[in-house]
Amino acid sequence: MSISRNLRGWSVAALIAVAVTIQLVPYGRNHFNPPVTREPAWDSPATRELPKRACFDCHSNETHWPGYARVAPASWLLQHDVTEGRAVLNFSEWHRPHDGAKDASEEVLHREMPPAAYRIMHAGARLTAADTERLVSGLSRTIGVSAEKQAERKR
């Protein structure tokens, strides 16, 4: 019985040591929000409000960094998601090309965006069916859709 307790104690100590040590990894601490240089010409203020609520944390320079963003490994995941999200589509840097812009409305429609893990942690990102419909329509009017997607819709 004492061997089991001893092993359990060492296991807990090892887990604590690992948890403390990973805090020293320098990745995931760049909580920098560059300036907003240019947004799309939103079709309405209501359209802007929906992406602000559900998309801006990863797809703009207006990221809200929660307290757990300072603790690894959550900080690593958040930094990765924001870096990747801004690279694909950044509503704050509309002066540069965005590979993912034309597909944004389709990804929202198919509930690929916002991701399920994000929706779990952020109540504002849990879009109702009506919100989703308004967001898809607003993004389509604001950004447009790819020619391929327009052809699919006509079929």
Model pLDDT for residues 103-112, shown as the tens digit of each residue: 888 999 999 9
Across 55-66, average pLDDT: 95
For every residue of 21-61, DSSP letters joined together read HGGG--TT-----PPP-B----S-HHHHHHHHHHTHHHHSS
Q: Output the pLDDT for position 68.
A: 86
- What pLDDT shows up at residue 144? 78
Give me the mean pLDDT over the 44-59 stretch: 95
Closest CA to 92 of 60, 122, 115, 69: 60
Q: How many domains does the chain have?
A: 1
What pTM does this model have? 0.77
pLDDT of residue 1: 53
Residue 142 token pair: 């604001």
Alpha carbon distance 111, 41 (integer Å): 24
Q: Of residues 115 and 99, which shows the higher confidence score? A: 115
Structural domain including 94 reads 2-154
Residue 93 bridge partners (DSSP): 38
Predicted confidence (pLDDT) at residue 58 exceeds the cutoff of 60: yes
Q: At residue 69, does pLDDT exceed 90?
A: no
Dihedral angle computed from the Cα positions of residues 32, 38, 44 and 49, in that order, rounded to the nearest 10 degrees: 0
